[in-house]
A and B are shown apart, each in its own frame.
Chain A
């Protein structure tokens, strides 16, 4: 089957730093695909290039068989939605306004319906909808960031380290949420340093090291692989 998202030989530099040196990945529709790698491996750069924030030197990104537009705002409209690293909620906007900004491309009754949907998925956001996003805890901000992403009506959701800096209990909640999102038919491309979690949830995974993909396989295969266990699972 043709993959939903296909990245071919992608190369990205920041000045002299080669952040991606020919990365190719495929994401099948309806799956959760994880990319694991250490800090600085190029994971965020890959997502930022797919969503148009960073321009590539070479290579291709195809979504549903077509090249993506250049502008980030046009890419979102295609259904490729990126929830950035560090949550990046708009701290001085209310929770409701954060969600409405997420739904910027949509108007009227549909927008209200989407909002209602997020509130029922995340009751805490409804309770605190008129408070500033900056008043939320880390875990709640991550929920808000994901909910805001869902407001953009993703076909594929790019999640950058959603478990970063969160307590294990909260991480489990976030991962339950990712499963729910997949079960609703939204494809997920998940980037993580937390390899155990990310490999445990995914259908397929890639290992990114210094800007190249060194290994790939199903989550189980990688969890059993010696190389992965040594480098990412503490032996």
Chain B
């Protein structure tokens, strides 16, 4: 196996990790699977494309705008789709329906704007590859891997070491009790959606760079979803490990089997894994709401 393939797998896996953690964060706090996450990625990436990249802005501006757009969309979704059912402690079905509805709405709006066309981000790098001795590696792979890892490390630090991170964990465990400590649970839930939205925006741009931009790009969220299940739903560390594993396995299979069979093989491996270890890598068996 060559270094290129490994690096390519790591880059893919790190995008999945951004998706999976964004997904797992919401799962942790509200105990439901946010099926609007994929469409949030697409919409945020398109927003960045039309607002800045199409006008010649660079990667940093594109990522910043995508992150802000993702946060805004996620906040909107929290307020419109989830706030009331959260406060009423409603059944999981409502979360399920709400998140699917929101996702469909976002995707519809994007489709109305762009049709079924494909869009390309401008080339962000003058040199698409870097030569490292005998190896030729893709600049964008290195960039995506590095930025994803930095984002995940910052996230881990915030969650483990800061006051807001502790509050976020407390709210994830028990919203009512957290309020008895002076924590405004609604604010913390909003904060979680903001973080999740920023991760979605960055992931959306990376997917766009990798595969071009199109209205159903967000369906790749499935990969992040699988990764977070493999990792153990709700565990952020598990989600990252699951995602990187998935990216690497997928990329290796792709190079060995070609595009048709590799997808089938990847999903088959994941299914077998979940049969053997349904609770995922990180282990604890949480009950899901939706």
Can you list, as one digit per residue, whether each of A72-110 has a CB less than 8 Å from chain B (1) or not (0)? 110011000111100010111100010011101101000
CB distance B166 to A100 under 8 Å?
Answer: yes
Segment from B1-9, B35-43, B54-62, B171-179 that makes contact with A:
B171-179
B180 partner, pick from A81, A91, A92, A100, beta carbons under 8 A: A81
CB distance B163 to A107 under 8 Å?
Answer: yes
Segment from B99-107, B143-151, B181-189 that makes contact with A:
B181-189
- B169 interfacial by beta-carbon distance below 8 Å: yes
- A53 interfacial by beta-carbon distance below 8 Å: yes
Contacts of B181 in A (CB 8 A): 76, 101-102, 104-105, 148, 151-152
Contacts of B180 in A (CB 8 A): 51, 53, 72, 76, 81-84, 152
Inter-chain CA distance A51–B180, complex, in Å, is: 7
Distance (whole angstroms) from the CB of A198 to the closest CB of chain B: 21
CB-CB under 8 A for A53 and B173, given A148-B181, A152-B182? no
A101 partner, pick from B167, B176, B184, beta carbons under 8 A: B167
| Least CB separation from B180: chain A residue | A82
CB-CB under 8 A for A73 and B184, given A93-B169, A97-B169? yes
Inter-chain CA distance A81–B173, complex, in Å, is: 19
Contacts of A229 in B (CB 8 A): none
Q: How many residues of B contact A (CB 8 A)?
A: 17
B173 partner, pick from A71, A77, A91, beta carbons under 8 A: A91
Contacts of B174 in A (CB 8 A): 88, 90
CB-CB under 8 A for A53 and B169, given A73-B184, A88-B174, A104-B163? no
Contacts of A52 in B (CB 8 A): 179
Distance (whole angstroms) from the CB of A110 to the closest CB of chain B: 13
Chain A CB within 10 Å — which of B170, B180, B184 has the most? B180
| Least CB separation from A148: chain B residue | B181
CB distance A73 to B169 under 8 Å?
Answer: no
Can you list, as one digit per residue, whether each of A149-175 has a CB less than 8 Å from chain B (1) or not (0)? 001100000000000000000000000
Inter-chain CA distance A80–B214, complex, in Å, is: 54
Chain A CB within 10 Å — which of B166, B178, B181 has the most? B181
Distance (whole angstroms) from the CB of A151 to the closest CB of chain B: 8
A105 partner, pick from B173, B177, B182, B185, beta carbons under 8 A: B182
Distance (whole angstroms) from the CB of A96 to the closest CB of chain B: 10
Chain A CB within 10 Å — which of B177, B178, B179 has the most? B177
Distance (whole angstroms) from the CB of B284 to the closest CB of chain A: 9
Contacts of A102 in B (CB 8 A): 181
Inter-chain CA distance A51–B176, complex, in Å, is: 11
Contacts of A100 in B (CB 8 A): 163, 166
Contacts of A83 in B (CB 8 A): 180
Q: Given known contacts A73-B179, A101-B170, A152-B181, what 7 new A-B pairs fall within 8 Å (CB)?
A: A51-B180, A53-B180, A102-B181, A104-B181, A104-B182, A105-B181, A152-B182
Q: Ordered nearest first, which 6 A-B pairs have the shortest CB separation?
A: A72-B179, A76-B182, A105-B182, A88-B177, A73-B184, A90-B173
18 contacts between A and B (CB under 8 A): A51-B180, A52-B179, A53-B180, A72-B179, A76-B180, A76-B181, A77-B182, A84-B180, A88-B174, A90-B174, A90-B177, A93-B169, A97-B166, A100-B166, A101-B178, A101-B183, A102-B181, A104-B167
Q: Write the residues of chain A forming the contact surface with B, with a CB cutoff of 8 angstroms.
A: 51-53, 71-73, 76-77, 81-84, 88, 90-93, 97, 100-102, 104-105, 107, 148, 151-152
